[in-house]
Chain A
């Protein structure tokens, strides 16, 4: 039997806001493997019993693109040049956003049984959901590469900077997922609302149409213009399209502002999550 007093495992005193956020971030670093395992299993779960298995990770975005191409490009006859690439450069990141936010929202609620049985930092749950959606996005880059075979002249060195925009996007996705996952524990309605908000957001973002076209329409309705420009996803989608479709420099200033704005939002979301998390087990 150990004679030295063992360290405290349960009952650490509560800290102030800065300590809380720092502890939370440290706990994520310590449990990085847990985040990875959870993300991996949720990526696999989606295709668990299917005939084509992990092929769906590639097929899913491809089919989604095919549908939008059919509806917008062929039926509505609105093609920009190299329309599949134009669409995919924005639909793929939007798809990542949707997956991260919707699966992130449900992430805590879905694991209510484990939370009743094992004490672990709950923050890993939304973070794992975001990680899984990032994995799915990366698989979507495979069909994107395939489209470049159709339009080889569209591929430029600018495409190599895509990871930078991914980081900016991640910086927005994570706090949204963290905050919604906690709120969804207390108000189930959040999950339903999010579904519709995402759909609305899709049409308010330059995904199916170019930013310029939307800008032209919006400029006739000033409130719409404000909404379009206040939407960080609009700037992020523009940046992807600049790099992947136009082969030109993105709007660095806009990206920098979007990133800067995400930092306080992220810290706040972690703090609020941590303050709400003691109640999760009691409510679920």
Chain B
């Protein structure tokens, strides 16, 4: 019997087969050889071991291209590991990018239901949430209008409201804390904090070390697809920040 940790990664690896992607030359030039194996596979993540216990919030830090986003997508179930395994238990909310899945020709309510279906939230539950979502997004009389008539701000607000309409067991964040104007920014960061309080586990990918320290109890540092540091948020982040400063 495996334990019921909300998140459990064991020897997890994600590989991109370069022969399948057009970005071959780009990837080759970006990447130093250790991440490419004999078959020409590029390993975005390799030998990742991570167990997140209930109540933990984990910041994922590291330079661009270290595999942070791939890690988050694997936890969200968007990417399936090629090696080892990744298990996530309970409902998941991913704040990767807002307004994912919206259709221009549908109105707000229809889009809420559409995205709810994409996320796999049962329709009756989603329908009950519609008033709350519309209210939070503050789009007023536009609720019946097709999405193509929306401003980008309204779109982002609606996207945020839909994505945060459920209280998940596992919350996956990718630097979305700042959306819209100042009042909405405050409202949305309050909402995220509320979700964070209720969630069993949080994984937060960010370059903003300050907010990582504020939100998280634990931090891992990724470099070239591997975990190079794992520990209390304060010490890991401080060590990372010091190294970044010295590198400059």
Docked Cα-Cα span, A11 to B17, in Å, equals 21
B79 and chain A: residue at smallest CB distance? A281
Task: Report if A11-B87 is in contact (Cβ < 8 Å); known contacts: A37-B106, A116-B78.
Answer: yes
Docked Cα-Cα span, A279 to B87, in Å, equals 19
Given contacts A9-B88, A9-B89, A10-B74, 8 further A-B pairs with CB under 8 A are A9-B170, A41-B114, A48-B105, A48-B146, A116-B73, A118-B100, A186-B20, A282-B17
Docked Cα-Cα span, A279 to B91, in Å, equals 24
Docked Cα-Cα span, A40 to B146, in Å, equals 13
Q: What residues of A have a CB within 8 angstroms of the CB of B120 in the complex?
A: 30-31, 120
| B interface, over-half SS | mixed
Q: What residues of A have a CB within 8 angstroms of the CB of B198 in the complex?
A: 1
Contact A37 B16 (CB under 8 A): no
Kindly state whether residue A72 has any CB partner on chain B within 8 Å.
no
Q: What residues of A have a CB within 8 angstroms of the CB of B77 in the complex?
A: 9-11, 119
Kindly state whether residue B110 has any CB partner on chain A within 8 Å.
yes
5 interchain pairs (CB within 8 A)? Answer: A1-B198, A10-B86, A10-B92, A37-B106, A40-B106
Interface residue total, chain B, C-beta cutoff 8 A: 48
Kindly state whether residue B161 has any CB partner on chain A within 8 Å.
no
Contact of A2 among B74, B76, B96, B169 (CB under 8 A): B169
Contact A6 B91 (CB under 8 A): yes
Docked Cα-Cα span, A120 to B100, in Å, equals 12
Task: Report if A114-B88 is in contact (Cβ < 8 Å); known contacts: A282-B16, A282-B21.
Answer: no
Docked Cα-Cα span, A278 to B118, in Å, equals 17
Contact A114 B118 (CB under 8 A): yes
Per-residue CB proximity of A208-222 to B under 8 Å, as 1/0?
Answer: 000000000000000
Q: What residues of B have a CB within 8 angstroms of the CB of A37 in the complex?
A: 103, 106, 110, 113-114, 117
Docked Cα-Cα span, A41 to B103, in Å, equals 7
Contact A282 B119 (CB under 8 A): no
Near B by CB (< 8 A), chain A positions 35-89 give: 37-38, 40-41, 44-45, 48
Contact B89 A6 (CB under 8 A): yes
Q: What residues of A have a CB within 8 angstroms of the CB of B105 in the complex?
A: 41, 44-45, 48
**Which residues of B approach A to under 8 Å, CB–CB?**
4, 6, 16-17, 20-21, 54-55, 73-80, 85-92, 94, 96-97, 100-101, 103-106, 110, 113-115, 117-120, 123, 146, 148, 169-170, 198, 200
Contact A41 B106 (CB under 8 A): yes
Contact B86 A119 (CB under 8 A): no
Docked Cα-Cα span, A279 to B75, in Å, equals 16
Contact of B118 among A34, A41, A116, A279 (CB under 8 A): A34
Kindly state whether residue A115 has any CB partner on chain B within 8 Å.
yes
Q: What residues of B have a CB within 8 angstroms of the CB of A117 in the complex?
A: 78, 94, 96-97, 100-101
Contact A118 B55 (CB under 8 A): no
Q: Number of residue pairs across A and B with beta carbons under 8 Å? A: 116
Contact A119 B4 (CB under 8 A): no
Contact A2 B90 (CB under 8 A): yes
Contact A279 B88 (CB under 8 A): no
Contact B4 A10 (CB under 8 A): no
A4 and chain B: residue at smallest CB distance? B4
Docked Cα-Cα span, A148 to B68, in Å, equals 63
Q: What residues of A have a CB within 8 angstroms of the CB of B76 in the complex?
A: 10, 118-119
Contact B113 A11 (CB under 8 A): no
Task: Report if A283-B118 is in contact (Cβ < 8 Å); known contacts: A6-B89, A8-B87.
Answer: no
Kindly state whether residue A33 has any CB partner on chain B within 8 Å.
yes
Contact A31 B169 (CB under 8 A): no
Q: What residues of A have a CB within 8 angstroms of the CB of B89 in the complex?
A: 5-9
Docked Cα-Cα span, A37 to B77, in Å, equals 23
Contact A1 B73 (CB under 8 A): no
Docked Cα-Cα span, A110 to B201, in Å, equals 33
Q: What residues of A have a CB within 8 angstroms of the CB of B146 in the complex?
A: 48
Contact of A281 among B78, B115, B117, B119 (CB under 8 A): B78
Task: Report if A10-B75 is in contact (Cβ < 8 Å); known contacts: A5-B89, A114-B101, A117-B100.
Answer: yes
Contact B148 A48 (CB under 8 A): yes
Contact B114 A38 (CB under 8 A): yes
B146 to A: closest C-beta gap in Å: 8
